Structure 1
Amino acid sequence: MTQILTGTPVVGGVAHGPALWPGRRPDHSAEALGAGVEISEDQRPEEVARFTAAAGVVAARLRERASQNTGVAAEVLAATAGLAEDRGWIGAASALIARGTPAPSAAVAATEQFAAVFTKLGGLMAERVTDLNDVRDRVLAELLGLPEPGLSTPEVPSILLADDLAPADTAGLDPTTTIALVTRLGGPTSHTAIIARQLGIPCVVAVSGLVGIDAGTAILVDGTTGEIAVDPDDTAARARVEEYRRHAARVAGWSGPGRTGDGVEVAILANVADGSSARAATDHPVEGVGLFRTELAFLERAEEPSVDEQAGIYREVLDAFDGRKVVIRTLDAGSDKPLRFVTHPDEANPALGVRGDRIALAHPEIRARQLDAIARAALEADAQPWVMAPMIASPAEAATFAAQVRERGLVAGVMIEVPAAAILAPAILAEVDFVSIGTNDLTQYTMAADRMSAELASLTDPWQPAVLHLVATVARAGRDQGKPVGVCGEAAADPHLACVLVGLGVTSLSSAPVAAPAVGARLGAVTLATCENAAAAALAATDPAAARAAVAAVLDSDEVRLASSR
C-alpha cells in the first residue's frame, strides 16, 4: 500500500526510482576508537602529529574538490576544508591526546565539544555541525586506515535518502545517477539545498518517516509539492515522470529574455562566485549577474589578497558578461565564514554579530581596497558594475557605503537581508541607486528560525507570508522612487514564487543559472496582472502551504487562458 510522506520542497521536479542510503560512517564505538586506552607519555607527541597529519590530508582533499567545482559548491567545500584545520578544533583534540587519549577518540570528543557550542549558538553556526561531523569522520577514516567515507556512485539512477548530507557529498552528486534527494533534516536554504538547486536535482528536506524506508524501495518524489510516495503504483508513477519530462523539455527551449506573457521585462540573472562559475553561467539563458559573491577570493587566505589580485578576479567575471549587467557584492564574511587575516571577536551569537558590512566598521581598509580593486577591474573592462554591501541595517550605513562606491564611479546599492532594512526601505533607497533582497537571510532573521533545523523548516520557507510582506514593502519603495529592486536569494529559483515576486514589484531575479529556463518560461506564460493577483493571494495566506496552493491556482488558470488565446 502506498505511503505518502511530506516535507519542505526545495528544488522542483519529479523523479521515480529505488531508494539509496549513504554507506556507513566509521564506527564510533569505544572499542573502535580506543577509548579507555592510555597512550604512553613518550608516544603522545607522535600521536598528536599523526592526528594533525590526518586532518591535513582531509583538508587537502576537500580543497582539491573545491578547485574542481564552481560557485557555491566550491565556496562551501573551501569553508569545510578550513574546519579540518581549525585551530580550536585541532587544539582541543591535541590537548586530549597530550593527556593520553588516542587520536581517534580525541577527534570524536573534540567534535562533541565544538558541536555543542555551535548548536547552542544557533543560526549559521549550528549549520556547521553537519560539516564538522563530516570532517570528523573523514579524519577518523584516515586515522583508522579505512576508505574515505562518502557516497558511492549508484549502479542505476536512484533517489538518495539521508538524515542530512555534508557539502563534500552534495557537491559530488551526479544528476544522471542521483535523480532526487530527500533528507530528514535540513532547511530550504541550507548548503545542501542550495547545491542541489545548483545541480538541478529535485530535492525535499525535513521529511519525517524516512528511517522506515529500506534501500531499493521504489519512491516517487515531487520536488514542487514536497510529496514523497513510497511504493507508488508503477504505471501512475511513470506517467507522472513522463509528464514532467515533457514539461521540462518545453522549459529547456526557453532562451530569454525575461518578460511576462504581456511583455513586461524582468531581468533573469545568475548568482556566481568566480570567473569559472561566471563563464559556466553564460551557457544558460541569463542576461547578466545579479549576485557575484566575492568572498571566495578571501576565504582560507592567510593574507588579504592584493588590489591587483582582486582586480584580476573581478575582471574575469566582467569579461565573461562583457557589456552586460554585473552586480558585485562586497565581502560577506564573518560568522560561519571567518577570515584568517582578521581577528574575529568571540561572540555569543555570530549570526547576529560582526559579519558582512559590519567587518568594514572595524577594518575599513579592507573594504576600501576591495572597492579600489573593483574600480580598477571596471576601468580595464570598460564596464560599470553595480556594487552592493551585505548586512546593511540602517539608512546611515547605506549612505556611508554609497558615498564610497560613487567616489569610484560605480553604481551603489545594498542588500536587504535584515528586517530593519526592509522596514526602512524608503529611507535606504533614498541613499542608493538600487537594492537587492537576500531572501535566505531575510527569512531566517524574520522568522527567528535556524535554517538548519528540521523542526523549523516550515518557518525558514521563503513562502512565509511575513517574509513576502517585507518584500512587498521594499518593492513598493523601489516603485515609488523609480529604482530597481532585485531578489538574489534562492527564492528567485522557484518558478511560482518568481511570479509572486514580480507581482510584488521586483524587477530582477537572480539565482543558480540552471534555474533560469524554468523561471523564465513560467513568467512568459502569465500576465503581469496575474502575477499581481498571485502576489495578493500569497499575502492573504497565513502559512507557506496555503500560499503555494493559492498561487498555483491563480497561475495555472491564467496559463490555460493565455494558451487558448494563442
Structure 2
Amino acid sequence: MILRGTSLIPGRAQGRLLAGVHENLLQGILLIGHQELPALLAHRGPLPAGIIVRDAARFAHALIRLFSLGIPTVLVSSEQAEAFVPGQWVALDGDQGLLADEPIPPPAQAMAQQVDLQTADGQPIELMASVGDARGAEAAVRLGARSIGLVRSEYLHPEPPVAPDRFFYINALQDLLEASRPLDVTVRLFDYGPDKHVPWWPEAPIAPLGQQGVRLYAIEPISEVLEAELAALDELCRDRPLSLLVPYLTHPWEFEGIRERLQRWPRLRNMPLGAMVETPAAAFALPEWKAMADFVAIGCNDLMQAFDAADRNRPELSAYLDPYAPAWLRFLARLAREGLELELPMRVCGQLPALPGLFPLLIGMGLRSFSVEPAQIPHLASVARLTSSTEAGDLLVQACRASSSMEVRGLLGLART
C-alpha cells in the first residue's frame, strides 16, 4: 500500500509507527495531530526518524518551526492516518509526500544544489534561506543557499525566559552570522504574531489580524526589545554588511516611522531596508514601497491569511486557505507584474514555492528570488532547472483562467489529496 499525503520536509525515513510524543522516539516514525506540535518542538529526548502530521494547518508557524528539526515530514488527513496502526513498519518519503508499508522507490530525478541556478531557458533563479537560529544558518550554507533571505529574529529567546536585551542579541545574532558566512544576511526585525509563543510576555495579544509585527513597535515591552535588537545590529554591522526587513506593514507611514527610528543609529541609517508585503493594503502600495524601500519581500503565509480571511493556525479553516485558487493566483500574478513594471526588487517568502506544482507558476509570474527553508533548496533547484519560464508563463495564464482550484490542480498534474 502506498498513500499520497502532502510533502512538508524533504528526506526519506523508515521505522515503526509511534503515536504521540513520549520519552523515546528514536528511529520511529511519529504520528501526531496538529495540536501536539508544541510538545514535539519542546521535546528534549531522542527524536524520530520521520514525522507524520494529521490534520495540520498547512501555513501555521508551528509547522514552519518544525523545519528547525530537519526531520522528513508528510502531512495527512485523519482518514489517511487510519490506514496505519502503531507498531506497524512504515516508509516515509518527504520529497514525494508518500507513505507506504513497503520500501518506496526513489524518484527518478536526483536533487541538485544551486550554482548559478537557471531555468531550462536560461532565466536566473535565486534561492535564499529563511532561518531562525545558527543551526538553520549552517544548513543554509551546506545546502547551497545564495544568501540568508530572512532571519526570524523573534525566535531568539534567552533562558530563563526574560525579555532579550542588547547583550543577548549581540551574542545570539553573532552566532547566527558566523554560521552563515560567507552569505549575505537579511534580518527581519522582531515580528510577534498571535501564534508565536513568547515565553517572557504572558500578556501577548493572541487575536489574528490584530496587534502584531510593526504595529507593536511603539508598545511595551516590544518597543524596548526592538531598541535592544537595533543596538545589537548597529554593533554587529561594523564587521558584516546586513539588510533589515520590516514585518507586517499595512500603510507607508509605518515604514517611514521605522526609517526615522533608524536615524538614531549611525550604522543603521543607511542600511538597506525592505518592506514585507503581508496584507492586501501593502500589496496595493507597491508604488509607495518603490519610493521608500530598498526591496520588497512578499510574505505569502500571512498575505494568504488576510486574502482569504481565515486564521492560518486553525486546522478547521485550512480549506479556505487554498493556494491553488484561481483568484489567489490572479492576485499574486498582478502583484508580480506591477513589481516588474516598477523595477522593484522582490523576493517571495513563505511556504508557497514548496507546494506541489506552484514553483513553476511563480516563475511564470516573473518572480526570480525566493527565501525558503534550507531543506527545500536542493529540491527547488532541481525543479527550477527543469522549468521553462516561457512554458510556465503559458501554464500560469491557463491557471488564472480556471474556474476552480480543482481545475488548477488538474493543469498541474496533481491528484486531489
Category of TM-score, reference length = shorter chain: 0.7 to 0.9
- Structure 2 counterpart of 1:314: 173
Give the alignment's Cα RMSD to 1 decimal. Answer: 3.6
In the TM superposition, residue 425 of structure 1 has moved relative to its aligned partner by 3.0
1:153 matched to 2:26: yes
SS at match of 2:239: helix
Aligned partner of 2:394 in structure 1 is 533
- Alpha-carbon separation, structure 2, partners of 1:338 and 1:488: 21
- In the alignment, the residues of structure 2 paired with residue 9 and residue 280 of structure 1 have an alpha-carbon distance, to the nearest angstrom, of 19
The question of 1:487 aligning with 2:371 is answered no
Counterpart in the other structure of 1:178: 49
SS of corresponding position for 2:213: coil
Match of 1:564 in 2: none
| Alignment match of 1:278 (pick from 113, 126, 137) | 137
Counterpart code for 2:137: A
- Superposition deviation, residue 203 in structure 1: 0.7
Q: 362-371 vs 351-360, which deviates more?
A: 362-371
Once residues 9 and 350 of structure 1 are traced to their aligned partners in structure 2, the CA distance between those partners, rounded to angstroms, is 29
Which has the larger share of strand?
2
Q: Which residue of 2 is the match for residue 325 of structure 1? A: 184
Alignment pair present for 1:162 and 2:32: yes
The within-5 A match list for 1:287-298 is 287-298=146-157
> Tell me, which stretches of 5 or more residues in structure 2 are unaligned?
none
Equivalent pair of 1:442/1:467 in contact (CA under 8 Å): no
Q: Give the match's secondary structure for 2:113.
A: coil
Moved more, 428-437 or 330-339: 330-339
Note closer, same or farther for the CA distance 1:209–1:500 as it changes in structure 2 (3 Å cut): closer
Counterpart residue identity of residue 38, structure 2: P
Give the aligned partner of residue 242 of structure 1: 105
Aligned residue in 1 for 2:238: 379
- The question of whether the paired residues in 1 share the 8 Å contact of 2:119 and 2:389 is answered with yes
Pairing 1:356–2:213 present: yes
Separation (CA, whole Å) in 2 of partners of 1:169 and 1:366 = 28
Q: How far off is 1:411 after superposition?
A: 0.5
Say whether the 8 Å CA contact 1:438–1:487 is kept in structure 2: yes
Does 2:361 align with 1:500?
yes
Q: Partner letter of residue 162 of structure 1?
A: I
Tell me, in whole angstroms, the C-alpha distance in 2 between the residues paired with 1:214 and 1:307.
50
User: C-alpha deviations, 1:283-306, integer Å up to 9, x for none?
Assistant: 111111011011133466655433
5+ long unaligned stretches in structure 1: 24-133, 135-148, 554-566
Q: Does 1:188 align with 2:58?
A: yes
Q: Give the corresponding residue for 1:449.
A: 310
User: In percent, how many aligned pairs have the same letter?
Assistant: 27
TM-score (norm. length: structure 1): 0.62
Distance 2:54 2:197 in 1: 29
Matched pairs, number: 406
Does the alignment pair 1:335 with 2:199? no
Query: How far did 1:221 drift?
Result: 6.1
- Give the structure 2 partner of residue 410 of structure 1: 271
**Pairing 1:37-436 to 2, within 5 Å after superposition:** 149-150=22-23, 152-154=25-27, 159-164=29-34, 165-169=36-40, 178-179=49-50, 181-191=51-61, 193-195=63-65, 197=67, 199=70, 201-211=72-82, 213-216=84-87, 238=103, 241-244=104-107, 246-247=108-109, 250-251=110-111, 253-298=112-157, 303-322=162-181, 324-337=183-196, 339=198, 344=203, 350-363=207-220, 364-381=223-240, 383=241, 385-405=242-262, 408-436=269-297
Q: Is the 8 A contact 2:61 2:196 kept in 1?
A: no
Question: What amino acid sits opposite 1:186 in the alignment?
Answer: A
Contact 2:25 2:48 in 1 (8 A): no
Structure 2 CA distance for aligned equivalents of residues 207 and 549 of structure 1: 24
Distance 1:530 1:171 in 2: 45
SS of 2:296 mapped into structure 1: strand
